[in-house]
Structure 1
Amino acid sequence: MGKKRTREDGKDAPPADNSVDKMDQDSSDDEDFDMVDVEFEWFNFDQEVDFHGVKSLLRQLFDVDANLFNMSALADLVLSQPTIGSTVKVDGKATDPYAMLTALNTFEHREKEPMKDILKYLVDKAQTNDSLSAIPRLINGGNHIGLVFSERLINVPPEIGPPMYSMLIDEVEAAVEDKEPYEFTHYLILSKTYQEVESTLDVEDRKRKKAKETSSIYYFHPEDEVLHKHAVAHGSFKYTKEEDAVADSKRAFQEMGVKAFGHMILIEASKFEGAVKAINAYLSPLQ
């Protein structure tokens, strides 16, 4: 690869003094919440400090199917390109990230572990949903696709996402100028959706009948709905290991459980910048 670009830590990002909801630990009323100020900082990936945090976020992104892949190797692959993508942290560079976003060239890494397995997985999953039929042809055709991994911890405000996408565009543009392999034909964003399902806390009841699913689809990442408007294809798929998931474990103090699905969004590279501008407009940077 060519000369690596650097970005001053904490720079080229929106104002970092933000407020997020956090439960008041001292209150006896579970419904009491306090607003606490949190300083979000944007960093390049760092092989020395980010391995475990990035691996954890990647496992969260792949959900129950994470065990199908070598997630340590995937984290290493992400960290091998420190000037492409970002992490978001709260207590300085040496801490684990609260969020991450990056793009890997599917063709460039097609024979590396675990990219080879992930590409086969994505092709197989795309073939289960007619809405995703364009994806196998592009992957199998040897196109240079930017496979986007974007994930954040639960309750991290979605407004931190658009700046990471904006910085990714700038970083990819600079990489192409440096003759690095980031001239993509498309971006393929791996994400997640979920449905609420009727809770079945009693083990015997769970054995006797499956939880009743609702038809409504919800998004872990609200920007996905905006990205759909600029996409060539988008759709969800069932996880291979979905039987290993217990919806009640994700109830989050609700009456309904949660059943997660994998989700893919395919966007032509020429339309990606417009899509990012749209999510910036939809999720205005925090003030």
Structure 2
Amino acid sequence: MISREDDEDESGSDGDMEDIINVDFEFFNPKEIDFHAVKNLLSQFFASDAILFGLSELADIIVSQSSVGTTIKVNGDDSDPYSVMTVLNMNQHIQAMVQIRDYVFTKSKQNEKLHVKLKELLSAGSSKEVGLIISERFINMPVETAPPMWRMLLEEVKDAVERGLPFNFEYYLLLCPTYHEVAPKTDFDEDTPKPSRKKAKMVDPVTFFFHPEEEMLQQYAEFTQDFKLTTPPTVAESRNTFEDYGIAPARRMMLIHRDKIPEVVQLMTNNSQW
């Protein structure tokens, strides 16, 4: 059970007010009944670029590998999940994964070392495999639900490897949803004469993560690369990503070696700020 408290300012005229919402979050293995909800979460995960991928095929894979992956529900096992986390083998020779491989190859071209590494890992004859982390949740889901999902995923992957299933990943790839300023502002001292201000340097846009735990993961990434979405967002998506307020959606690709994952998951678990 996770409680959320919203306290009003003590100086308010109505005095102290407290609003407590108690919600029981239950963790379940993915199952066939989750197909449509998982597909919707995948659409949210890939944002406007979702049209580039076979989401039905990906959703089928997720609900079929029930021994690896977790959903969170609040109204029992037969209700729709509010969150999903799993890992997919990127070395599989299926159409949906070919689409994702081509996508990450294209998006990684700006980072030559990452691009070469991905080409090496995802080639037909590679002896090392890559797991694509799918982690998506409703926007109002608390971040406190993330660490237990990561812990369960690690345990499930370990068990799957022991049973000879194709989850022996050398690396994990994440496509983390981010947002940033659309137009950077100039940085100058207010005392600087106006004629000289045109020489001021441009400030790099600040990148923010939608999922706080993924900001923590980037510290352990061997490679990172920011990239823009290929497909322009719809009007509704633009409103949801606050483009009217000067920020736009993007992604940060992160490649992390498996040896680093347990350490960062422990760091998530011990984070007192959550």
Do they fold alike, i.e. is TM over 0.5? yes
Bigger Rg over Cα:
2
Partner of residue 250, structure 1: 240
Task: Quickly say closer, same or farther: Cα 1:251–1:127, change in 2 above 3 A.
Answer: closer
1:70 and 1:33 map into 2 onto residues whose CA distance is 45
2:78 corresponds to 1:89: no
1:138 aligned onto 2:121: yes
Distance of 1:255 and 1:152 partners within structure 2: 24
Q: Pick closer, same or farther for the CA change 1:82–1:277 going to 2, 3 Å.
A: same
Compute the RMSD of aligned alpha carbons.
2.6
- Cα deviation per residue 1:237-278 (whole Å; 9 max; x = unaligned)? 1111136567751266x9715411122221111221112112
Q: TM-score, normalised by structure 2?
A: 0.80
Q: Corresponding residue for 1:278? A: 267
Structure 1: tracts of 5 or more residues without a match = 1-16, 23-31, 199-212
Contact 1:197 1:256 in 2 (8 A): no
In the alignment, what sits opposite 1:120?
Answer: 102
Structure 2 distance, partners of 1:257, 1:96, is: 34
Alpha-carbon deviations, 1:203-225, whole Å to 9, x = none? Answer: xxxxxxxxxx9711110011112
- Shift of the 247–59 alpha-carbon distance from structure 1 to 2, 3 Å rule, reads closer
| Counterpart in the other structure of 1:261 | 250
Q: Among 169, 175, 181, which residue is 1:190 paired with? A: 175
Structure 2 runs not aligned, ≥5 long: 7-16, 184-202
Q: Is the 8 A contact 1:230 1:267 kept in 2?
A: yes
Work out the CA distance in 2 between the residues paired with 1:197 and 1:86: 35
TM-score (normalised: structure 1): 0.77
Equivalent of 1:65, from 49, 52, 60?
A: 49
Amino acid at match of 1:236: D
User: Are 2:179 and 2:249, in contact at CA under 8 Å, matched by a contact in 1?
Assistant: yes
> How has the CA–CA distance of structure 1 residues 245 and 275 changed in structure 2, closer, same or farther, with 3 Å as cutoff?
farther
- 1:33 and 1:145, CA in 2 relative to 1: closer, same or farther beyond 3 A? farther
Shift of 1:102: 0.3
